[in-house]
Chains A and B, each alone.
Chain A
Amino acid sequence: MTVSRPWRIGLRVVGLGYLALLLLVPVGLIFYRTFEHGVGAVWASITTPAAIHAFQLTLEVTAIAVPLNTLFGIVMAMALARGEWRGKGLVNAIIDLPFAISPIVIGLSLILVYGARGWLGGALADAGVQVIFSVPGIVLATIFVSLPFVVREVTPVLKEVGDDQEQAAATLGAGGWTTFRRVTLPSIRWGVAYGVVLSVARCIGEFGAVSVVSGKISGQTETLTLLVEKRFSNFDLAGAYAASALLALIALGTLLAMTAIKPRREEGDT
């Protein structure tokens, strides 16, 4: 199909125009609105105690959720790509659920298990542990929504590289752990890295599920995305833009990391 030049340019203009109107102009405007009153005001607004705490909490939650999901993701990907077992199809389907379910439903589901009147609520209250309207609830919600990323990035890479080298290592007398560390891990590392980047972005950016379970207590259970919403509802538009710009910067950093990792992942570069 060799499209004539006018057609090609026409399609290009339509495609890029759509992208510009939907993506670029809005995001550019966020930065413009943020900095229209000067950098000083922005700095003051992202260094208030509430904002600093929100930023710290967001990073803490991410630092707990991402390693756990990475570990789970690698183990599960190995089982899915290398093993044959009963229930594999079912597990495969369940792993995709967090992508398909509304974050609000995820938040509600956690309340129904860990809330005051939930399945485990009584036992947890007796033990003096508060999950809902507290940090553990935010962590659980974040783990839930970011669960599939590493599995879904690593499984295809494992299938692509095959198990010839692993079998060779085993034949030469390497144990399971040595084979994994010296042969498997190096060949999947860019896939893992890509999955980790996607997970981090999702953890930092999660809003719906976290907003249901957090209770939004300023300085305690307020993450960065919740801070944006609260400032907006309190008519602190400049503050909402400043926090948004910070999140948008993190998103741009994510895009850079994705762009840097993607070709390596696809070439299976080791």
Chain B
Amino acid sequence: MSATTTPLPGIPGAWKLPYRGKVGMACLIFAESAIFTIFVVAYLFYVGKSLSGPTPREVLETPIFYTVCLLSSSLTVHFAGKLLERGRRGAFLLLWVLTIVLGALFLYGTGQEWHRLIYEHGLTISTNLFGTTYYSLVGLHAFHVTAGLIMLSIVLFFGLAGRVGPEQSSRVDVLSLYWHFVDAVWVVVFTVVYVLGR
């Protein structure tokens, strides 16, 4: 209708709204935080309540190296985004690959730990309450790392095809927001499982 196009008084000159990708990702992060909170609370609630072994103190080893890998991948993804914004595609791709490698290393570390727990200590998800809550919490996080790696790889694929330029940097930022969240959750999971829970 023509009437609605009539300009009204008091309209601000520059009308700025937050980027919808970031808002959406922020919402997703809130939702995921709620999920992780539930799993963390379940883990803490059942710590020490298993009637049979093995206990966390007996079998868990602190994965310092892989933790450092995951946390430093937060830095590489951040700087990759900055480089893309400035239009340095080559350097961006290099840091992006490094991020994926660091994330994959972390996932390998989790796999190795699970292999050791299952075949050396006989701890499976149905062994005792520790097994159930441990595999649920760490597995939920590993699932998020996997999802992140898949999304990072898709960006890498398009990047190698020459499709990712500075104009996509706000979208890439949305993805790196997710990756930062996955890393931040690991700090909590690490504290709960390997520090407080032992």
Partners in one complex: no
